[in-house]
Structure 1
Amino acid sequence: MDQKKITQLEQIIDSEYSNTVCIAVQKNGKPLYENYFNGYAANNATHVYSVTKSVFSALIGIAIDKGYIKSIDQTVLEFFPDCLISEGEETIQHVTIRDMLTMTAPYKYDSEPYEAFFMSENWMNFALAQLGGKEKTGEFVYSAIVGTHILSGVLAKAAGGSILDFAAENFFSPLGITVPGNVELRTKEEHIAAMTDKNTSGWAADPQGINPAGWGLFLTPSDMTKIGQLYLDGGKWYGKQVVPAWWVAESTRTQSRWGDLSYGFLWWIIDEKEHIYAAMGDGGNVIYINTRKNMVISIAALFAPDAKDRIGLITEYIEPLFAD
């Protein structure tokens, strides 16, 4: 490694990506670089925001493989038979799990009502009430929090219990990842405090104890790198198939588009030809997988408004430095 170039990289991180807490680079399954910033260390977990979505995608694939979910073409309402539907409301009846995974489900809102969602006594009921409307199914509508929560309800209903327990048994434990318990965020102040506390670990939960599909998971950089390596290896971990290989393949190819951006099953597709894809969350949290170069790059970061794009940092600075 060129120490001068590494020093230059770290200067760029300090000046332009100052909310970064860790960058870890792995190639051919071997660690090449790992450094911490802002007082963080290897044992500190970070709220990875929407990286949670890609982890949840893996859980859906596992649930299908184990028979808890028959198919992603099942309608959402099959899991919510008591959901009240307004007269004349047809759109919601045809929304499938696939639509939720590809962000092509329609919603009644123009702008996602985060505050009302968090203030509601039952997040699931609130989210279901937003699904449908007059828009057609099939158009890309990114649901950061509200709509995505419905997927949590689907898995909770299908597995018949705690999402965290299901994830621990079938995903986290095989990888040696510890997510110790639910993180209760009862007020806005608690929410903000948890996101910036390097001693917080676990997974957020709604008032009914359901872990969100779209956010709320706290992971260490090592955890993030393990997940990236798992996907790079087709869902295998030390020879054991943790996530079905077919699910990894389907999740990481283009399933829908948002302008020039491609999306899989809760994964962003960076370059389909080169098979480069990423889990991405607010603040610049990233698990970046380059299949051709056999690389995994993980970046953990604290929330910052209008955080600078980490994919640019990776492709312009990090990847060229460690690819050869």
Structure 2
Amino acid sequence: MALVILGFVTLLACTESPPSARPLPSHAEIADGIAEFAPLIDGFDQVRAIVVHADGDMVFEEYYGTSGEAYWNTQSVTKSVMSTLVGIAIGEGLIQSVDQTLGELLPAYASDMSPAIAATTLRQVLTMTAGFGNPMSPTVTDFTGSKDWVRSILANPVSPPGADFAYSNGDAHLLSAVLREATGMSVLTYARSRLFDPLGIDSRPAAQLPPKASSVAAYDKADFAWPVDPQDLNLGWALLKLRPKDMVNLGLLYLAEGRWKDRQLVPADWVHDATTTQVPAQGSGEGYGYLWWTGEVDGDPVFRAVGSGGQLIEVVPSRHLVVAVATELRLADPTSLGVADSALISLVEDGIVATFD
């Protein structure tokens, strides 16, 4: 049986943070806000970490029954990491643009594509308008039972390319094949050199497990992990394991428009486009960028990386704010379901973001 999928501001050249326009809430005030809303959320006892970074400082960092060095299944936060890697590859010229087609990007699979699929653009894949999604069953991953996941995805579109937004794990996994073809290396190797190592994300050793039931216990036990499909492609849509501080750093990278310390890791225009509404959507936001959810909090733009069961990176640029939440999910335990996404977002926005008005 395949793994069941239930569902990573800047440190500027200077060391001084820009002055805040308003006093920051205290650690106690943030804790009070969380305490007020947490009882309303079924399964909150499975939340393991809440970390809040504002105006250049870590203003709240709490771990529940664990430590900051523990790694957690980030679920679909993985998709936002994949978006970041695609943006880096475009910045390096390894991928020409989001207007390239799947026929151009995946020549080895050309014979598996209909003319319409071959003409599907990378932009459509990134915005989940490529036609591979199933609006009625957004977490269906039928392709995981095949011998070649990419081939199965390409051969079984649900609707014509350019259709409305339809959440799709298949779209995100295609990006793993696109990145390996474009970079000539595994997605993990590329991620380490361009993103993980610069951000201080410790990915060694890596549990790159096959999608088998026998791997579940090892995955749950592992620290850093990023499973692979039968072609050794790292999963593009879920199961990347990160620490809460890694999630915060990814949010800070985006808050700083792709700059980390003295390096521009991600092109600034990519950060802008990826976190700006490209298509209307329904789910963890009112819109969708390039594998990032978009929306508003009290009139302020916000973007989110969201993983099912309670994995979240929320960035509110106007408030210089990044919030990361990690929730325990154990693949071997079907009762370990975490927290509903909508409930977690409400907790973060009503109990945390609202304190930064």
TM-score scaled by structure 2? 0.81
The answer for the alignment partner of 2:12 in structure 1 is none
User: Does the CA contact (< 8 Å) of 2:132 and 2:153 recur in 1?
Assistant: no
Gaps of 5+ in 2: 1-25, 330-336
User: Does the CA contact (< 8 Å) of 2:277 and 2:294 recur in 1?
Assistant: yes
The 5 Å alignment of 1:6-45 reads: 6-7=31-32, 9-10=34-35, 12-13=37-38, 16=41, 17-37=44-64, 39-45=65-71
User: Does the CA contact (< 8 Å) of 1:128 and 1:147 recur in 2?
Assistant: no
Q: Helix, strand or coil: the match of 2:319? A: coil
Structure 2 residue identity aligned to 1:171: L
The answer for the alignment partner of 2:130 in structure 1 is 105
Q: Helix, strand or coil: the match of 2:354? A: helix
**Cα distance in 1 for residues equivalent to 2:54 and 2:111:** 51
The 1:25–1:118 alpha-carbon spacing in structure 2 relative to 1, beyond 3 Å, is: same
Q: Helix, strand or coil: the match of 1:18? A: helix
The 1:302–1:82 alpha-carbon spacing in structure 2 relative to 1, beyond 3 Å, is: same
Structure 2 residue identity aligned to 1:219: L
User: Does the CA contact (< 8 Å) of 1:47 and 1:195 recur in 2?
Assistant: no
Q: Post-superposition shift, 1:4?
A: 7.0
The answer for the alignment partner of 1:236 in structure 2 is 259
Gaps of 5+ in 1: none
1:319 aligns with 2:346: no
The 5 Å alignment of 1:39-58 reads: 39-58=65-84
Q: Post-superposition shift, 1:71?
A: 0.9
**Cα distance in 1 for residues equivalent to 2:179 and 2:193:** 14
User: Does the CA contact (< 8 Å) of 2:27 and 2:60 recur in 1?
Assistant: no
**Cα distance in 2 for residues equivalent to 1:317 and 1:134:** 40
1:297 aligns with 2:323: yes
Deviation string for 1:214-241 (max 9, x for gaps)?
1121110000011111100111111311
Q: Helix, strand or coil: the match of 1:83? A: helix
Q: Helix, strand or coil: the match of 1:208? A: coil
1:170 aligns with 2:180: no
Q: Post-superposition shift, 1:285?
A: 0.5
The 5 Å alignment of 1:1-324 reads: 1=26, 3=28, 6-7=31-32, 9-10=34-35, 12-13=37-38, 16=41, 17-37=44-64, 39-83=65-109, 85=111, 89-107=114-132, 111=137, 114=140, 116-131=142-157, 134-143=159-168, 145-180=169-204, 181-188=206-213, 190-191=215-216, 193=217, 196-197=220-221, 199-259=222-282, 261-271=286-296, 274-303=300-329, 304=337, 307-309=340-342, 310-321=344-355, 323=356
**Cα distance in 1 for residues equivalent to 2:30 and 2:211:** 45
**Cα distance in 2 for residues equivalent to 1:227 and 1:69:** 22
User: Does the CA contact (< 8 Å) of 2:310 and 2:338 recur in 1?
Assistant: no
User: Does the CA contact (< 8 Å) of 2:207 and 2:227 recur in 1?
Assistant: yes
**Cα distance in 2 for residues equivalent to 1:86 and 1:117:** 14
Identity of aligned residues (%): 32
**Cα distance in 2 for residues equivalent to 1:90 and 1:228:** 38
Structure 1 stretch 57-66 or stretch 298-307: which is displaced more?
Answer: 298-307
Q: Post-superposition shift, 1:308?
A: 5.0
**Cα distance in 1 for residues equivalent to 2:29 and 2:97:** 52
Q: Helix, strand or coil: the match of 1:206? A: coil
Q: Post-superposition shift, 1:5?
A: 6.3
User: Does the CA contact (< 8 Å) of 2:275 and 2:289 recur in 1?
Assistant: yes
The 1:134–1:54 alpha-carbon spacing in structure 2 relative to 1, beyond 3 Å, is: closer
Deviation string for 1:228-279 (max 9, x for gaps)?
1110011111131111111001111010112572000000002296231110
- In the TM superposition, structure 1's runs of 4+ consecutive aligned residues that sit over 6 Å from their partners are none
User: Does the CA contact (< 8 Å) of 1:24 and 1:221 recur in 2?
Assistant: yes
Structure 1 stretch 298-307 or stretch 52-61: which is displaced more?
Answer: 298-307
Q: How many pairs align?
A: 317
**Cα distance in 1 for residues equivalent to 2:235 and 2:130:** 17
**Cα distance in 1 for residues equivalent to 2:141 and 2:302:** 34
The 1:146–1:40 alpha-carbon spacing in structure 2 relative to 1, beyond 3 Å, is: same
Q: Post-superposition shift, 1:187?
A: 1.8
User: Does the CA contact (< 8 Å) of 2:126 and 2:171 recur in 1?
Assistant: no
Q: Helix, strand or coil: the match of 2:352? A: helix
Structure 1 stretch 254-263 or stretch 234-243: which is displaced more?
Answer: 254-263
Q: Helix, strand or coil: the match of 2:129? A: coil
**Cα distance in 2 for residues equivalent to 1:160 and 1:263:** 29
**Cα distance in 2 for residues equivalent to 1:221 and 1:25:** 10
Q: CA RMSD in A?
A: 2.5
User: Does the CA contact (< 8 Å) of 1:196 and 1:302 recur in 2?
Assistant: no
The 1:308–1:252 alpha-carbon spacing in structure 2 relative to 1, beyond 3 Å, is: closer
User: Does the CA contact (< 8 Å) of 1:26 and 1:296 recur in 2?
Assistant: yes
